[in-house]
Amino acid sequence: ASYNEQWRPKLHYTPQRNWMNDPNGMVYLNGEYHLFYQYNPQGIKWGHMSWGHAVSRDLIHWEELPIAIPEAPDIAIFSGSVVYDRNNTSGFGTTANPPLVALFTGWNKSNNNQSQYAAYSLDQGRTWTRYGTAPVLDIGSTESRDPKVFWHAATSKWIMVFARATDHKVAIYGSTNLKNWTYLSDFGPLGAGTAPGQLWEVPDLVQLPIDGNTANQKWALLLSINGGTLWGGSGMQYFLGNFNGVTFTPDPLPAVNEPGGVLYQDFEGSTYGSWTVTGNAFGAGPAQGTLPDQQVVTGYRGSRLVNTFLNGDSTTGTLTSPDFVIGKPYISFLIGGGNHPGETAFNLIVDGKVVRSATGQNEELLRWNAFDVTALQGKTARLQIVDTHTGQWGHINIDQIVFSDNAFTENDNRVLWADFGRDFYAASTFDNHPTGDKVWIGWMSNWQYAEKVPTYPWRSAMTLPRKLTLKTTPDGIRLHQEPVAALTTQHAASLKFTNLPLSQMRQNLTAAGVRGKTLEVLLEVDTTGPGSIGLKMHTSAFEETVLQYNPITQKLSLDHQKSGDSSFDPGLSEVHVATLRNTGTLKLRVVLDTSSIEVFAQDGKLVFTDLLLSSPSSDGFELYSSSGDPLVKNLEVYELKTIWN
C-alpha cells in the first residue's frame, strides 16, 4: 500500500484495507511488539470478526502480517488479550519454547452466547492453534466479553478481568494454568456508563508506580464505556484502588467539581449571544474588578457566568434564553449563587409558567442540579436566571448547562476520564513489556460514527502507544499518559526557541514558515496573566482547529467547529472542554497527524484524542494570545516523518 490516500495517518497504525476496531492481545516477545486487533477481512464495516496482526520493533513502525486468528464456523473472534506464558503453565508449549497464549471472547452466532476461549502460538505469534472448540470459561451470558489476563506475582496466579457489559460489572477470575478459571469477585457498577442501555467493555487492571517509585504502587482499573460519556458515544474512564489478588477495592472518588479532574460540556467563549437581559443583573452596577474575561455567556445551550468581580451592587434582574425545543430528557446545570444563598433562581419556563426551578447556593457550594424534562420533550421552552440580590457584591455562577440523556449529578462529576476527546476507546496495555513499563494503545474512533468515517480503503486507526504513569497532583493521584519515547525518531525539520514573549515567538514561526499536517509541538507558557493562549492548527482560509487555555476559567478547550469534514456526524464539529488547574505554567504536547490530534497537557495529566478530517490544503500553524504578551518558556515544533517508508 502507498499509505498516501487522503486522511491516511502517517504515524498511526492502520490496516492497509478494511475495517478495524479494538486493539487486542498486545504483547512483547523477542524484540517484537505485537498488535492484534478486531478486523473484518471482508469489508469496511464491522463484521466477520477476526484478529488482524501487526508487529513493530520500536512501537512506532509497524508491519502488517496475515490474519492471526480468523473467524471460525462456530464463533466470531471478539476482543481479548495475549500473555507470554514463560513457565509453560498451560502446557501448550515446552519449557524451551514457552507459548504465547491468547484469551479472547468467542461470539456464538447461533445462540448469541459470549464466552472466553483460548488459543496459543509457538512461533512468535505467526500461527495460532485454538485450544479445543469449547470455551475455557462460559458463564452462560450473551454479554460477557473482552478477557484481559495478567500474572499476579503476589498470589502466584493468572488473573482474568472481563466485562459483564450490560450488568456494568467487571468479573475477576483466577487460574494457575490459563485453562481452568475460578471466580474471585465482581467490581461495579460505579462511575459512568451504568444507566440502562449503556455498556461496560474491555477492562484492564494494572499496577502503576506512583511518581516513578516502584516501591509505592497503586492499581488502576481501566474501563471502556459505550454511552454515558462526556461527548456521547464511547469513551474511557478509570478507577484507582487496591487489588489484593481477589478483590479490586476502589479509592474514594475525587472531590466534587475538582479542577483538572472532571469536566463537562460547557459552551463558554462567546458573549451574551441571544439571551435577553432585564434589570441590571449582568453588566450593570459599578465595576468591582478588571477581569472582563470572567463575564462570559453563551447561547442557551450553556454558559459560564462568572461576574464575581465585574458586577457590583444590587444585581437585580433576569437573563432569559431564547425559545428552544426540549430535545433531551435532562437539563443539567452547575449553579452557584454568590454569597447570597437563595438569591439566584434558575427556572425552566413553558407556556409562560415556571415548570422547574432551582436556587443557587453559596459560590463555594457549586452544585449540579438536573431538571428531569422527559415529560416535556418536544415542548417549546426557555431558561431564565433570576437574581434578586440587593446588597453589595452580587455574583452568580452558572458554570455549565448540559442537555443530555443523563442527569448529571455530583457523582457523575466524580468520574475520572482517561481522555477528554471523543475518539479514544478499548485501550489496553502490553503484556511482558521489556522494561516493565505499562504502555497502552487505544482505538481512535467512537462507536457513534465509526462506520461512517469517510476514509477508504481502510477504516479506523490506533492511537500512538502511550506510556502510563501515576503522579501526585494537587487534586490527588492521577493517571498520566505520554507518547512512547520512540516517537522522537520521526522528528524531521525542527525549531526550538526558549524564553521569549509570545509575540516574538509568533514572528519566529512566521519567519520559519512553519506549517504541516504531521507535527509534534511542545509548548510551555506562562499563565499568570488573564489572556487566553492557544494554538491554531491545520489552518487555511476556511478551516482551523483551535486549542485554547483560558487561565481565568481554567478551561482547556479544543474547538472543532471549523476543523473540516463533519458531515457524517455533528459530533465532529464540537468544542471539547476540560478543566485544568492553573498552576502558572501551561505545558502542552500536541501530536498532529493527517486525520487526528492528540493533546497531552501538563505532562499527560489531561489528554484529548480526536479525529480531525481537515482538507489537504489546511496545513497552517499559529500561536496566539487573546491579550497581553505572555512569556513562552519553551516552544518546539517538529515535522514528523511518515512511518510507512
Binding site for ligand FRU (CB under 6 A): 21-22, 38, 49, 78-79, 105, 145-146, 201-202, 426
Q: What is the DSSP string of 155-190?
A: GTEEEEEEEEGGGTEEEEEEESSSSS-EEEEEE---
49 or 599: whose CB is closer to ligand FRU? 49
Which of 199, 205, 243, 257 is closest to 225 using CA atoms?
199
Q: What is the CA radius of gyration of the chain?
A: 26
CB of 145: closest distance to ligand FRU in angstroms? 5
The residue with cell 514457552 is 98
CA distance 173 to 180: 10
Q: Which is nearer to ligand FRU, 21 or 384 (CB)?
A: 21
DSSP conformation class of 6 = T
Rounded Cα distance, 594 and 9, in Å:
5
Rounded distance between C-alpha atoms, residue 562 and residue 564, angstroms: 6
Q: Residue 22 catalytic? A: yes
Please say whether the beta carbons of 534 and 548 come within 8 A.
yes
> Which of residues 78 and 275 has its CB atom nearest to ligand FRU in the complex?
78
Q: Which is nearer to ligand FRU, 236 or 439 (CB)?
A: 236
Between 38 and 518, whose beta carbon lies closer to ligand FRU? 38
CB closer to ligand FRU out of 402 and 426 = 426
Cell of 394: 452580587
Nearest to 44 by CA among 455, 644, 441: 455
Beta carbon of residue 110, minimum distance to ligand FRU (angstroms, whole number): 17
Omega before residue 616 within 30° of 0, cis? no
E-assigned strand segments in 10-62: 18-29, 32-40, 50-56
Least distance (Å) from ligand FRU to the CB of residue 4? Answer: 28
Residue 222 to residues 169, 202, 431, 609, Cα–Cα distance (Å): 13, 8, 15, 16
Provide, rounded to whole angstroms, the least separation between the CB of residue 38 and ligand FRU: 4
The least distance separating ligand FRU from the CB of residue 24, rounded to whole angstroms, comes to 8
Amino acid at 588: L
- Measured from the CB of residue 191, what is the shortest distance to ligand FRU in angstroms? 18
- Which CB sits closer to ligand FRU, 223 or 580? 223
With respect to ligand FRU, which residue has the nearer C-beta, 107 or 243?
107
CB of 458 to ligand FRU, least distance (A): 16
Contact 343, 396 (CB under 8 A): no
d(C-alpha 594, C-alpha 273), whole Å:
34
Is residue 40 within 8 A of residue 46, CB to CB? The reply is: yes
Minimum CB distance to ligand FRU, residue 251 (Å): 26
Q: Where are the alpha helices (DSSP H) in 355-487?
A: none
Q: How many helices (H) and strands (E) does the chain have?
A: 1, 44
Contact 223, 250 (CB under 8 A): no
Cα(first)–Cα(last) distance of the chain, in Å?
A: 10
Q: How far is the CB of 596 from ligand FRU (least distance, A)?
A: 18
The CA distance from 421 to 269, in Å, is 18
Q: Which is nearer to ligand FRU, 71 or 343 (CB)?
A: 71
Q: How far apart are CA 557 and CA 546, in angstroms?
A: 8
Grid coordinates in use for 295?
463575564
Give the residue numbers annotated as catalytic, written as ranges: 22
